[in-house]
Structure 1
């Protein structure tokens, strides 16, 4: 029997298979080099980058919760110069497409980052994180205001010819509206969802468990919400969707594809099992063989809704 074809196209960027790493959970890839074959990944999305290095939030900034975890890392990163000097040389040796997740405090910062990355041949695309405080708009997250989200995506699109994926926040009233807005602004693909805002408290100390008080909830707890949002967005956009949220095994990944995702990102599972991405790729391959399917694209968007 011929091996199933796992290649997918997410808006002009071809992946060997639909399994990508989620930004912030995989470092800059080298951290996992001793655990998995990095060249088997569909795509690598690195830790979120800003113009200047950031120390992030003070600890404690990660706490385990029921069916997931909360994090308030605060987007700690080496900055674009540190990335180019210390991280990119290793990434350039790898086969999978490299995507840089970027964030800024202003629209101008997003644009400047995109302009810097445009000249990097080893980088294949950008994932724009619009779930960040906008200091010029009174702390409103870019991803919760359609007008500001469109401004960010438009500004980035004007500065880069590379693949442009926009990561949507679930902390909005209408996820479909946000998806349509960023599609119209020039996105090649969408990734959703980002973490859901949550908190945890310590009854004995009567204090929050995170120094930041609130954090982003990820893991299996958010999968039903993420699946619903991917399905909703798939009904209203023409560009590919990358599903994110609580993907711990191949079944989870396949469910996302069935509701309309073309690819997936694995995040929290990397903390539980550094080899989870490899197991998910193998599991997808095995399921396709069992189902007699010769191409993974035959599964995308096949959910039956009466």
Structure 2
């Protein structure tokens, strides 16, 4: 039995309600399904997000936005490796003031499709997070705090998320200036993720996203004798990180009472179900789009539905069930 508010509105034996059995309520918000687009993937424009939404996403997450324009790292910024990708984008974005019109356009597009918008934001301290949060709050349904990017540098990302006190300070500051739900996205690159999770929960976080990319790691071109990525190193995503992500979700679920959104190597309904059994109430898909195309959201939703109907279960029956 899930310890969170996740409910279904339809009879699980009604195969005509195949998609409806995925309806859920998290953070006081109704979602049509638990499969969301992760930050950093197709989250730049309203048209890109509309394509994702029309292919079945229950929510879409914007790229991470900061106070000022940031060009990001030099190319190449992504390289495929066995089991996934290394990426070092460097948080490229036009800055919150310039991006706000695009976010408002995205919100209107998503409202027509009954898809929620998660605004991903970053900063190098609580004051920067505060300013971005104040500006973006009225244009999104939820705010996700990127305190976990492993390759941003300059005091951003995991420089904050690896420290309990800094993480607490950022979350509490943002919670003080906004009424929309606030989710902290955590890094796996810590000694004990439960410590960080309890810290952000204590600071007032409404939920946790776990995990961001693993690493950093690097790949060397043996012909040129140089690192392939322009930033030299980057964060690992893709299928290979899934077992680590699931273990982190499992640990966080045992330590906190707030909902978890699981992310890391999800490409199938079975992957999503594993995350749910570990404790995730919803999941995010990122590099999985590369493997199964834009249709991945509908495909995963169908696969979860088929599993639940076959087993005569509700989502609330499987969330955190391995802890029982």
Alignment partners' CA distance in 2, 1:93 and 1:35: 11
Q: Deviations over 1:160-212 (max 9, x none)?
A: 11010000011111100000000000100000000012111111111111010
**Structure 1 155/69 Cα, relative in aligned 2: closer, same or farther at 3 Å?**
same
Q: Secondary structure at the match of 2:91?
A: coil
2:81 paired residue among 58, 61, 65: 65
Alignment partners' CA distance in 2, 1:178 and 1:304: 20
**Structure 1 36/92 Cα, relative in aligned 2: closer, same or farther at 3 Å?**
closer
Instruction: Name the counterpart of 2:48.
Output: 31
| Pair 1:301 & 2:320 matched | yes
- State how many pairs are aligned: 300
Structure 2: gaps spanning 5 or more residues: 1-12
Instruction: Name the counterpart of 1:265.
Output: 284
- Structure 1 window deviating more from structure 2 (284-293 vs 232-241): it is 284-293
Instruction: Name the counterpart of 1:85.
Output: 101
For the Cα contact (< 8 Å) 2:221–2:227, is it kept in 1? Answer: yes
Q: Shift of the alpha carbon at 1:36?
A: 5.9
Q: Shift of the alpha carbon at 1:301?
A: 0.9
More helix by share: 2
**Structure 1 134/115 Cα, relative in aligned 2: closer, same or farther at 3 Å?**
farther
Moved over 6 A (4+): none
| Pair 1:131 & 2:148 matched | yes
Q: Secondary structure at the match of 1:51?
A: coil
Q: Secondary structure at the match of 1:14?
A: strand
Alignment partners' CA distance in 1, 2:295 and 2:259: 26
For the Cα contact (< 8 Å) 2:148–2:158, is it kept in 1? Answer: no
Instruction: Name the counterpart of 2:122.
Output: 103
Instruction: Name the counterpart of 2:299.
Output: 279
Alignment partners' CA distance in 2, 1:299 and 1:269: 22
Q: Following superposition of structure 1 onto structure 2, how do residues 39-78 of structure 1 map, counting pairs within 5 Å?
A: 40-78=56-94
For the Cα contact (< 8 Å) 2:76–2:229, is it kept in 1? Answer: yes
TM-score, normalising length: structure 1: 0.92
Instruction: Name the counterpart of 1:231.
Output: 250
Q: Shift of the alpha carbon at 1:78?
A: 2.4
Q: Shift of the alpha carbon at 1:87?
A: 3.9
For the Cα contact (< 8 Å) 1:62–1:70, is it kept in 2? Answer: yes
Q: Shift of the alpha carbon at 1:35?
A: 6.4
Instruction: Name the counterpart of 2:312.
Output: 292
Instruction: Name the counterpart of 1:146.
Output: 164
Alignment partners' CA distance in 1, 2:116 and 2:234: 29
Alignment partners' CA distance in 2, 1:177 and 1:280: 32
Instruction: Name the counterpart of 1:203.
Output: 222
Q: Secondary structure at the match of 1:243?
A: strand
TM-score, normalising length: structure 2: 0.87
Q: Secondary structure at the match of 2:71?
A: coil
Q: Shift of the alpha carbon at 1:136?
A: 6.6
Q: Shift of the alpha carbon at 1:226?
A: 0.4
Q: Shift of the alpha carbon at 1:126?
A: 0.1
Q: Shift of the alpha carbon at 1:276?
A: 1.0
Instruction: Name the counterpart of 1:189.
Output: 207
